[in-house]
Structures are given as structure tokens and as C-alpha cells.
């Protein structure tokens, strides 16, 4: 091969490799390393798109109940296992049409295109199924709040998150078990 061709294509190859590495790092920054779910930034952009195109969409907030007790009693590895399992259950419930994310700590979020097409009780049931960790049965419980985008005066993500948060705390107030939608 001509030395001139090699000399002129080497920088292009270097930029292509560099671009690929940066793209991979950006993708990793938008994924939570423990759960594999989208982080707040990665989830937000996608959730806004779902809300914009699906008038029957809903936003859900999920908060694990008694998570500190689980961590303090069984250790942080058990807590990490509970977070990863919660993420798997939420991701499975969302299916290929919804999108789950982890806001941080023991707080998760999801957006689904059609609230009427899903069963919130099935999600609550899945999130209350105990875990088996190193031969020990660990309790798992979560409070879920949902906001139907159609119930908002202006369909925007910040308002949906605020309403879902209020519904989630209302669910916690009913004994820290269950789900609640905005009304």
C-alpha cells in the first residue's frame, strides 16, 4: 500500500476509534451500573418523547419501602441485590413499550405509553414478592404512584413526576403497600 494513503487514512481511523470510545462512554453514563436501567438524564429525554406522542401515557414513581432496614439488617450486598431485582421486575413489567429508570437510591421511575393497557396491581404484586438471597428470604415492598398524562392541565414531565410523587406518598400513607394513581 502506498505510504501516502496510509499516512492520510491513519488520522481518520484514529478519529473513528476515538468517536466509538466516546459513544460507549456516553451510553454508559446514561445507564445505572448496578441495575442497567437508564439514569435520570437518559430516562428523561426518552420519557418526554413518550409523553409528547402518547396522550394516554403515564409516569410512575416507585420507592422501596423499608430499604434502609433491609440494608442495615442484611448488608449492602443484599441491598444491591434488592435494587437489581427491583429493576428487573420493573423492566419486565414495562415490557418493550415502556421505559424504566433509576433516579437514585431506592427510587425508580417508569413511563408507559398507555395506562389503560397495563395492570398496576401486577406491578405492585411483583414488587412485593420476597427475594431469595444467599439462602435467606428477604422481604421486598414498594410504594407506587402513577400519573396519567391526560389528567394534567398541561402534559409535561415535571408536572407528571410531581403528581406521581404525591400519589406514591399517598400509597405509602396507606400502610406502605400498594399503588395509587392521581385523581
CA distance 62 to 94: 13
Least reliable range by pLDDT among 17-31, 32-46, 58-72, 123-137 = 17-31
pLDDT band at 147 (very low <50, low <70, confident <90, very high): very high
Enumerate the active-site residues. Answer: 106
Is pLDDT at 182 greater than 80 in this prediction?
A: no
Mean pLDDT of 13-20: 49
Task: Give the per-residue pLDDT at 172.
Answer: 87
pTM here is: 0.80
How much of the chain exceeds pLDDT 70, in percent? 79
Q: Where are the beta strands (DSSP E) in the chain?
A: 58-64, 99-104, 107-112, 131-133, 136-138, 142-148, 178-181
Is pLDDT at 7 greater than 70 in this prediction?
A: no
Q: What is the overall mean pLDDT for the chain?
A: 86
**Cα angle 150, 60, 25; round to 5:** 115
- Kindly list the distances between the CA atom of residue 21 and the CA atoms of 25, 38, 156, in Å, as whole numbers in the listed order: 6, 19, 34
Q: C-alpha cell of 23?
A: 459513544
Amino acid at each position: 500500500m502506498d505510504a501516502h494513503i496510509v499516512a492520510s487514512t491513519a488520522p481518520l481511523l484514529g478519529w473513528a476509534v476515538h468517536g466509538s470510545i466516546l459513544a460507549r462512554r456516553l451510553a454508559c453514563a446514561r445507564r445505572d451500573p448496578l441495575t442497567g436501567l437508564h439514569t435520570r438524564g437518559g430516562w428523561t429525554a426518552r420519557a418526554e418523547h413518550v409523553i409528547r406522542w402518547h396522550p394516554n401515557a403515564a409516569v410512575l414513581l416507585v420507592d422501596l419501602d423499608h430499604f434502609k432496614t433491609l440494608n442495615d439488617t442484611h448488608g449492602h450486598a443484599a441491598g444491591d441485590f434488592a435494587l437489581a431485582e427491583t429493576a428487573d421486575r420493573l423492566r419486565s413489567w414495562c415490557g418493550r413499550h415502556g421505559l424504566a429508570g433509576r433516579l437514585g437510591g431506592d427510587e425508580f421511575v417508569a413511563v408507559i405509553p398507555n395506562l389503560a393497557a397495563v395492570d398496576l396491581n401486577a406491578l405492585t404484586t411483583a414488587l412485593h414478592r420476597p427475594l431469595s438471597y444467599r439462602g435467606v428470604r428477604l422481604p421486598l415492598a414498594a410504594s407506587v404512584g402513577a400519573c396519567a398524562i391526560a389528567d394534567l392541565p398541561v402534559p409535561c414531565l415535571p408536572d407528571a413526576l410531581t403528581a406521581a410523587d404525591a400519589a406514591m406518598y399517598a400509597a405509602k400513607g396507606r400502610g406502605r403497600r400498594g399503588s395509587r394513581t392521581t385523581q
